[in-house]
Structure 1
């Protein structure tokens, strides 16, 4: 027997997951801007030690 669909719940769940994803992306962008402002540029010490 098939389950009865709960469209409202499914829509809210999709919207909740999308909102989380958008928030994570915004936080990553904010952190990248902050690193760029401080002049770090996101390079790790391993990147700096490699010859050019």
Structure 2
């Protein structure tokens, strides 16, 4: 019997890819006042805190 597909995993993976692409586009449009690494680190820290709640 074939294994059932895990649609939740596929959806989450697709959402993360979409979010990453959107963030990359936003950083390209943003003036070079901040580095991409600084803003990426700030946002990932915020995600981790909200997931634990």
Query: TM-score under structure 2 normalisation?
Result: 0.52
Gaps of 5+ in 1: 33-52
With the length of structure 1 as denominator, give the TM-score of the two structures. Answer: 0.53
Q: Secondary structure of the residue that 1:3 maps to in structure 2?
A: coil
The answer to which structure, 1 or 2, has the higher relative contact order (CA under 8 A, 6+ apart) is 2
CA RMSD of aligned residues (A): 1.7
1:7 counterpart residue number:
7
Aligned length: 32
Could you say which structure has the higher helix fraction? 2
Structure 1 segments (4+ residues) deviating >6 Å: none
Which has the higher Rg, Structure 1 or Structure 2? 1
